[in-house]
Amino acid sequence: MSLYRKGLRSIRDKPEGSQPAFLLYLRHFFKHPSMGGGVSRRDFAAVDYMVRRCERMLESIFTNVTVKAVTVPQGAIDEVKASARILKSGQFVHGQGRK
């Protein structure tokens, strides 16, 4: 969690126009199964690897002042569109299920 918060704080230092792309990139990195989301808490080797990988990503992309924009993976954009459709349709409200 502290690495995610560190990423969120470093997004504030990026240009305003590219902040949404950085936020999508960060969310995708933490939630998508291919990027580390869904790793078992008991798989210590995988968790340790993902922590080191995340630290390197934060140093190279988010805290580096020369990086002004990122390319968001298409999967992240599709997930955001799908979640927006779910919220619009009213299927889920704060994880409570269908109204």
pLDDT tens figures, 6-52: 888 888 888 888 888 888 888 888 777 666 666 777 888 888 888 88
All structural domains of the chain with their residue ranges: 2-72
Q: Give phi and psi for 19, each to the nearest 5.
A: -60, -40
Q: What pLDDT does residue 86 have? A: 58
Q: Express each pLDDT in 40-98 by its tens digit.
A: 778 888 888 888 888 888 888 888 888 888 887 777 778 777 776 655 555 444 444 44
Q: In terms of pTM, does the model score above 0.75?
A: no
